[in-house]
Amino acid sequence: MADLWQNSMDHAVAAARRAGQVVRQALQDDRKVMTKSSSVDLVTQTDQRVEQLIIHSVKEKFPTHRFIGEESVAAGEPCVLTDDPTWIIDPIDGTTNFVHAFPFVAVSIGFSVNKQVEFGVVYSCLEDKMFTARRGRGAFCNGEPLQVSDQTDIKQSIIATEFGSSRDPEAVDKIFSSLRNVLHIPIHGVRGAGTAAVNMCLVASGCVEAYYETGIHVWDVAAGSLIVSEAGGVLMDTEGGEVDLMSRRIVAANSRTIAERIIREIDSFSPTRDDALSPSNQ
């Protein structure tokens, strides 16, 4: 049976590749840095330009589709997921990396219908790795199938996480207490690529057993969530139970066993949900 969303997915892959070229080129130029919610929540003209390039190209081809884009939301657009076909775009996931030329930067495009992610595209543009997943049809990197790690012993695992861009003292304390608990399990190590999307692709690729973070946004994880589940992994909330992509909390793991073991160590907290964000409280 023909795949209803294949055209959209092909368009997303092409748009992500074009966006990656713009990002790579911009790394050669001066990068003017601006801030959003705090002095460490960075944005550049390249983030804004790439998001507009993607949105314009999609609007031309699929005029009825909706958008949730990181920079459009920062500019005051609503962050609401409806049942309509919706493109969920992070033009540069890893903006801080981009500003510092730290070599992990991704273009992330998720696409949801009836509030369910139908495909995910993450282009790690400095590595030239195109990660893709279509619901029910597997996950791939540059066309090669992905499979999560089969490690069941948390003590033999590497866990990815991030410190995020909140410097609220209570949030920072909880991030550190969770990290201390996880390290004390003990595990082999902790890593973080500086982009949620790439961290999730590392879970899907079997390089790390899990990734968890509180404070991410729907555009950071929409595409990666499908890539993880289509590679055989699981997604959970940091307090257990089903993940809610608007809740800003996620555990992505190779298995339920590893996810639940990490959840036991997480000192959870609840940032303002994405669908309750206004430009002043992002």
Instruction: Kindly list the residues in this chain that would bind ligand IPD in the complex (CB under 6 A).
Output: 70, 90, 93-95, 162, 164-165, 194-196, 213, 215-217, 220
Q: Least Å distance between CB 227 and ligand IPD?
A: 14
* Of 71 and 151, CB closest to ligand IPD: 71
Q: Least Å distance between CB 184 and ligand IPD?
A: 22
The yes-or-no answer on residue 244 being catalytic is no
The yes-or-no answer on residue 93 being catalytic is yes
C-alpha 180/C-alpha 189 separation (Å) is 12
Catalytic pick from 46, 54, 68, 70?
70
Pairing of β 210-214 and β 158-161 = parallel
Q: CA 50, 278, 124 angle in degrees (round to 5)?
A: 30
Amino acid identity at 132: T
The yes-or-no answer on residue 187 being catalytic is no
User: Dihedrals φ, ψ of 145, to 5°?
Assistant: -65, 145
The yes-or-no answer on residue 95 being catalytic is yes
The yes-or-no answer on residue 68 being catalytic is no
Total H helices, total E strands in the chain? 8, 14
Catalytic pick from 47, 93, 209, 230?
93
* Of 12 and 218, CB closest to ligand IPD: 218
C-alpha 250/C-alpha 223 separation (Å) is 13
Catalytic pick from 44, 46, 95, 161?
95
Q: Least Å distance between CB 163 and ligand IPD?
A: 7
Amino acid identity at 202: L
Token look-up 């990002």 returns 23
C-alpha 274/C-alpha 74 separation (Å) is 11
Please identify the residue of the shown chain whose CB is closest to the bound ligand IPD.
Answer: 162
Catalytic pick from 220, 230, 265, 274?
220
The yes-or-no answer on residue 257 being catalytic is no
The three-state secondary structure class of 42 is strand
Q: Least Å distance between CB 108 and ligand IPD?
A: 8
Q: Which residues are part of the catalytic machinery?
A: 70, 90, 92-93, 95, 220
